[in-house]
Amino acid sequence: MTISLPYFFSAVAVMALVTYLPRMLPLVIFKKKISNRYIRSFLNYVPYAVLAAMTFPGIFSSTATPVSALVGLAAALVLSYLGKGLLTVALSATAAVFLTECLMKIF
């Protein structure tokens, strides 16, 4: 299957526009510092919400079974609640998923 050159360049242009506009518009629209405390509070939580929205579907689709995904998620939540570092949490959650899947194969 071949793609025509005009279609390719128009697709690249549309993708560039779609990814550039959300980054450029806030800089153009909001020239002054945002002083409304409710809007500032909302904007402070946006990165966490986006990260959670990208991470949670990946957790449940990256393992062989939902049970091992829940075990890994629980391990990560407990360790992060206890204040452990990112590397410790990630490695421990991975180990929990691995052990859970090994145990599920045995039983």
Residue pair 79/53 in contact by the 8 Å Cβ criterion: no
- Residue identified by tokens 């829940």 is 70
Instruction: Tell if the pTM clears 0.85, that is, is over it.
Output: no
In-domain check, residue 23? no
**C-alpha torsion 96→102→104→107, nearest 10:** -130
Residue-number span of the structural domain to which 65 is assigned:
34-106
Counting as low any pLDDT under 70, the low residues of the chain are 1
pLDDT for residue 1? 66
For position 81, what pLDDT does the model report? 97
Q: Is residue 71 part of a domain?
A: yes
Residue 12 lies in a domain: no
pLDDT tens digits along 54-64:
998 999 999 99
What is the rounded distance in angstroms from the CA atom of residue 84 to the CA atom of residue 21? Answer: 38
Considering its fold, how many domains does the chain have in total? 1
